[in-house]
Amino acid sequence: MSEITNMTALDQSQAMAEGQLSAAELMQATLRQIEKTNPEVNAIVSLRAADDLMAEARAADAAPRKGWMHGLPLAVKDLANAKGLATSMGNPMFAKTIAPNDDLVVARMRAAGAIIIGKTNTPEWGLGSHTFNPVHGATHNPYDLSRSAGGSSGGAAAALAARMVALADGSDMMGSLRNPGAWNNVYGFRPTYGRVPSETEGDTFLHQLATLGPMARTPRDMAALLDTQSGADPRQPHGARYDLTLPGIDASVKGRRIGWLGDWGGAFPMEAGLMAHSEAALPELEALGLSVEPVLPPFSAEAIWESWITLRSWAIAGGLSVFYNDAAKRDQLKPEAIWEIERGLSFSAMDVHRASVIRSQWFKTCASLFERFDALVLPTTQLYPFPVEWTYPEEIAGQGMDTYHRWMQIVTPVGLLGLPCINIPLQMGEKGLPAGLSLFGPRNSDAALMQLGESWHQAYRYAENRPPLA
């Protein structure tokens, strides 16, 4: 493997700024790594022509630096628009739909100098934490090609793990930056809701469940990308106050208090071995100078779940019902999308109100926890990467899963409240499969969480454990 593609993004950037590496050399190494690994992994889709990419890289070498991302290859998640590339969203109706313009977050990354090389694979519409679709097929886990890469930012995480790119953007409604981060042995970050604005389409006031965000193989790279993506959009009502995360990332974390929620008192069934794998990391957290204290279940997990699936289905119906209402297009929707839409359309206004009251009660309870703790921690997932040919797991530890996404219930306490959360990679499990922990904090604690991630990374270089094919 080219050592160039194993460099961090910030190291690549610095090497180009100092004339030790050219954008053309980096692009050539990137394309070789993609050629080597992508046929088996299927993480990057809609890859641009090599001649065009090399010409753009040579042009970057001849031009003044735009920003810290100048000359860095970047593949954009296939739910976001990148000018001139197809935005398929994994659905055949849009397989050849070429984006006329960049989405805001893509424009920000391009303005910082990134070269957009293609897209990263995602589940259809981003629904389900397993990356497969009828347009581009399934993304395979680089650590075990027979397993899922997770989702919905599964292509992004797999591309990072396989050293095809050093940075990746993604989005997260139901663990979509965290779950694939854990399953691909990389870092994923869900920002405070409103910090990274999405597009001004449809309702921008009510739906606060999903956010855009960064992934990388180091917290430092991830912080740099988050700072580039961040910034309020005056056209949107929920822009968040924020501090830059990279400048203070080396701050000491000693003395910070961490609350361990575990499996929420047994509410979240866990695959055999994963709970012990997660608990083995607690002494490692304490070795960083953190105090770790077990926390009893602070709120009903089932109440959080019911609130979540109500508000989620309502939001999805708001976005996708236009296709459901067209009989010719309805046939192009996968069953899980139809299930979400039909649920969302069935709710009364008071159903939605009751779900939001539960959300408000959980927010209040969580606020009291953050008076005691600087961050709370959960296992990122409830199971290890499952066989890639599955649609979704139908049971965990003998407990049946009653929806296509119940197996990711553990992510809902964070997502329901729009809280920031970082996935940190753990030491590989007994089967050689990756796993992670999720540390989350109050709104606008993004910088503090990045500091915890960086302290972890400096002590435990688990993300440097390369997959066999890389």
Q: What is the pLDDT of residue 1?
A: 45
Beta 375-379 vs 257-260: how paired, if at all?
Answer: parallel
pLDDT tens digits along 363-416: 999 999 999 999 999 999 999 999 999 999 999 999 999 999 999 999 999 999
pLDDT at 268: 98
pLDDT band of residue 331 (cuts 50, 70, 90) is very high
**pLDDT the model gives residue 430:** 80
Residues with Cβ within 8 Å of 366's Cβ and at least 6 positions away in sequence, in order, are 298, 299, 413, 417, 419, 442
Average the pLDDT over 340-354 and give the result.
Answer: 98
> What pLDDT digit, counting tens, does each position of 26-45 carry?
999 999 999 999 999 999 99
- DSSP letters, 374-407, are SEEEEES-SSPPPBTT-SS-SEETTEEPSSTTGG
- Residue type, position 17, single letter: A
Spatial distance between the Cα atoms of 228 and 168, rounded to a whole number of angstroms: 12
Q: What is the pLDDT of residues 250-271, one digit of tens each?
A: 999 999 999 999 999 999 999 9
Alpha carbons 97 and 87: distance in angstroms, whole number:
6
pTM of the model: 0.98
**Helices assigned H by DSSP within 2-99:** 3-6, 9-17, 23-41, 50-62
The CA distance from 9 to 150, in Å, is 23
Domain residue spans of the chain:
3-464
CA distance 107 to 71: 15
List helix spans (H) across 43-93: 50-62
Distance, in Å, from the CA atom of 407 to the CA atom of 395, rounded to the nearest integer, reads 8
Name the band, by pLDDT with cuts 50, 70 and 90, for residue 431: confident
- Average pLDDT over every residue of 137-151: 98
Write out the two tokens for 74.
């970047």
Number of neighbouring beta carbons within 10 Å of residue 332: 15
If pLDDT is split at 50, 70 and 90, which confidence band does 217 have?
very high
Confidence at residue 239, expressed as pLDDT on a 0 to 100 scale: 85
284 vs 280: CA distance, rounded Å: 8
Contact predicate 112/67, CB 8 Å = yes
Q: Residue 6: pLDDT above 90?
A: yes
In three state form, how does the secondary structure of 265-321 look?
Answer: CCCCCCCCCHHHHHHCCHHHHHCCCCEEEECCCCCCHHHHHHHHHHHHHHHHHHHHH
Task: Please report where in the chains the tokens 């969203």 appear, as a residue.
Answer: 89
Following DSSP, what letter does each residue of 255-280 receive, concatenated? T-EEEE-TTTTTTS---TTHHHHHHT
Task: Specify the CATH class of 3-464 in words.
Answer: alpha beta
- What would the two tokens of residue 292 be? 């770790």
Q: How far apart are CA 212 and CA 240, in angstroms?
A: 13
Considering Cα of 34, then 383, then 130, then 218, what sign does the dihedral take?
Answer: negative
As separate numbers, helices (DSSP H) first and strands (DSSP E) second, the chain gives 16, 17
Bond prior to 291 in cis (omega within 30° of 0): no
CA distance 378 to 380: 6
Average pLDDT over every residue of 213-217: 98
Half-sphere exposure at residue 202, Cβ-oriented, CA atoms within 13 angstroms: 12
Supply the mean pLDDT for the chain.
97
242 pLDDT band (50/70/90 cuts)? confident
pLDDT level of residue 105 (50, 70, 90 thresholds): very high
- pLDDT one-digit tens code per residue, 298-322: 999 999 999 999 999 999 999 999 9
Nearest Cα neighbor of 294 from 367, 377, 359, 350 is 377
CA dihedral 337, 311, 211, 149 (to 10 degrees): -40
